[in-house]
Amino acid sequence: MIELDGLTKHYGDKVAVDHLTFTVRPGLVTGFLGPNGAGKSTTMRMMLDLDNPTAGSVRIDGEHYRRLTDPLRSVGALLDAKAVHGGRSAYHHLLCLAQSNGLPRRRVGEVLDTVGLTPVARKRSKGFSLGMGQRLGIAAALLGDPRVLLFDEPVNGLDPEGIHWIRNLMKNLAAQGRTVFVSSHLMSEMALTADHLVVIGRGRLLADTSMAEFIRGNSRSYVRLRSPEAERLRDVLHAERIAATEAADGTLEVDGVPSERLGELAARHGLVLHELSPQQASLEEAFMQLTAESVEYHAHDGEPVGGGPAEPVPPGVAAGPGGWGGDWRKKGS
């Protein structure tokens, strides 16, 4: 278990992490999401005592990292896969870690097997591909057979096979009762991996919710209607007390009414439809809406990034009952 209590980090005037309080529980994969610069890596560094908090505290299985007698046996981490001496082989990199931490030599062979690097174990790591480097970093994290595991963006730059492998590894580690905390910018990736979700923006907690709850609250469907007789269509819907919102491109969006009923209604009134399409609000859009105000680094290509008005807002995501007003939000926000 990892417990954060008011964890805060300032770099001069910059508030990188702002009063974060949440608990990462064992037996689950907890996804840690936020846009670039949200404070994910800073939070993880403080968990490992690589950075001093300005205020607040973080405990690993009830202890401050500094008090852990055998840190590698308690918590394993992959923060930066490139933090390896390139002249050393994978085997010697791990052996060095094992020997300096009082871990048995046999663990080196075991973790090399787990991550699939045994065939290249004697090769210098500077020749490793990005995926091999990530695997070596994960092997180091697993070396002490720790109960708590932290991974900072482990799938960055990996091919689909590598992503699939890491996803299964995390799930298996959690199924063994370990605490697994993994950061990402990708909501869609986390939806497939994480059981629980912690979202931050500009260092602040935005959501602390189960993945199932997040999906339930944000993957509501709606129907898009396009007609050359938009005015009449609006009147017909209005007469049936069906609420429709008009998107920027002139199409109508109807929430909570099956497309069959809408199609039959249009037919009854002899209305021509050019489009009648059920839509699903994507979790990525939901995540962008949630973090829109806290995105620091915008691309300047003429279009706003991070949930700006250029994209029509899916009704399932818009503020209101069942949308963003759900009870999964951070308490007190």
Ligand X SMILES: Nc1ncnc2c1ncn2[C@@H]1O[C@H](COP(=O)(O)OP(=O)(O)OP(=O)(O)O)[C@@H](O)[C@H]1O
The minimum distance between CB 59 and ligand X, in angstroms, equals: 20
Q: Which does 38 bind (CB under 5 to 8 A by kind): ligand X, Mg ion, none?
A: ligand X
The minimum distance between CB 79 and Mg ion, in angstroms, equals: 9
Q: Which of 88, 92, 185, 216 binds ligand X (CB under 6 A)?
A: 185
Cβ pair 197, 290 in contact under 8 A: no
CB atoms within 10 A of CB 13: 5
Q: Which of 8, 30, 41, 251 binds Mg ion (CB under 5 A)?
A: 41
Helix, strand, or coil here: 60?
strand
> CA dihedral in degrees (29, 34, 37, 41; nearest 10)?
-10
Q: Which of 36, 52, 100, 333 binds ligand X (CB under 6 A)?
A: 36
Using CA atoms, how far apart are residues 84 and 197, in angstroms rounded to an integer? Answer: 30
The minimum distance between CB 36 and ligand X, in angstroms, equals: 4
Using CA atoms, how far apart are residues 11 and 46, in angstroms rounded to an integer? Answer: 13
Taking CB under 6 A as the rule, does residue 16 contact ligand X? yes
Q: Which range touches Mg ion (CB under 5 A), out of 38-46, 95-103, 280-288, 310-318? A: 38-46
> CA dihedral in degrees (184, 190, 194, 198; nearest 10)?
50
> What H or E segment, with its residue span, contains residue 137?
helix 130-142
Which CA distances in Å does 119 have to 15, 112, 113, 132? 45, 9, 9, 11
Q: Which range touches Mg ion (CB under 5 A), out of 37-45, 102-110, 142-150, 284-292? A: 37-45
Residue 44 CA, chain-centre distance (Å), reads 14
- What residues does 246 pair with on adjacent strands? 252
Q: In the Cβ-directed half-sphere of 18, how many Cα atoms lie within 13 Å?
A: 15
Which 37-76 positions form the footprint of ligand X (CB under 6 A)?
Answer: 37-42
Using CA atoms, how far apart are residues 103 and 15, in angstroms rounded to an integer? Answer: 38
The minimum distance between CB 218 and Mg ion, in angstroms, equals: 24
The pair of three-digit structure tokens given for residue 81, joined into one six-digit string: 């896969």
Q: Which range touches ligand X (CB under 6 A), out of 9-17, 97-105, 140-148, 269-277? A: 9-17
Q: Which range touches ligand X (CB under 6 A), out of 32-40, 94-102, 162-170, 276-284? A: 32-40
Nearer to Mg ion, 41 or 125 (CB): 41
Q: Which does 220 bind (CB under 5 to 8 A by kind): ligand X, Mg ion, none?
A: none
The footprint of Mg ion on this chain (CB under 5 A) covers a number of residues equal to: 2
Taking CB under 6 A as the rule, does residue 8 contact ligand X? no
Indicate the residue whose CB is closest to Mg ion.
Answer: 41
Q: Which does 184 bind (CB under 5 to 8 A by kind): Mg ion, ligand X, none?
A: none
Helices (H), 180-229: 187-193, 211-218
Q: Which range touches Mg ion (CB under 5 A), out of 35-43, 97-105, 223-231, 278-286? A: 35-43
Cβ pair 173, 111 in contact under 8 A: no
Taking CB under 6 A as the rule, does residue 34 contact ligand X? yes
Residues that bind ligand X (CB under 6 A): 11, 14, 16, 34, 36-42, 185
Residues that bind Mg ion (CB under 5 A): 40-41
